[in-house]
Amino acid sequence: MALLPPQIQKLIEEFSKLPGIGPKSAERLTFHLLRSSKASPEKLGEALIQLKREIRYCTVCQMVTTDETCVLCQDSSRDRATVLVVEDPLEVVAFEKTSFKGLYHVLHGVLSPIDGMGPEQLKMRELLDRVRAGGINEVIIATNPDIEGEATANYLRIQLKDHVGTITRLAHGLPMGADIEFADQITLREALAGRRSL
């Protein structure tokens, strides 16, 4: 016999599927929504529906957007010959706080066979197509300095080496195991300035 109504159990299960949310956190979130006068389940539901219905990936860089191309790719003042490759959209936001003026490419993850993430699950083909189309002189690989990030960087280097003049990697001003999205502006700026060839 189930002690909790199926509606509550279902929401707990759905919250548990989110990264970093375990069963206990999922239970707390569920009951917070149930009893709080400030938290509106209706508004949360509407926001989630809008997210899935209206957000898409930029056809050029794979950043999240509501249009066919994102505002960065539409900006004609940016350096189109330099592409900074990142793992996720939050890293674009972090690099935009520096003085980087090139374009981006968002992979939406890193190579991780344990998690079922191979080249086909990432936006690698789109990057290779961009580079093969020409006009890109440098690709800066800005994956996190961890095992999966390094494996992804090496895979990209092999795939891109015959199609672009310069492939660089962020300098190791970022500590091993750190997430780029949490780094401060100075660390990111120094990492960009000290990037190295692969």
One pLDDT digit (tens) per residue for the chain, 198 residues: 468 888 999 999 999 999 899 999 999 999 998 888 777 788 888 998 999 999 999 999 999 999 999 999 999 999 999 999 999 999 999 999 998 999 999 999 999 988 899 999 999 999 999 999 999 999 999 999 888 999 999 999 999 999 999 999 987 666 777 788 888 787 787 788 777 787
Query: How far is it, in rounded angstroms, from Cα 4 to Cα 176?
Result: 43
Query: How far is it, in rounded angstroms, from Cα 84 to Cα 61?
Result: 10
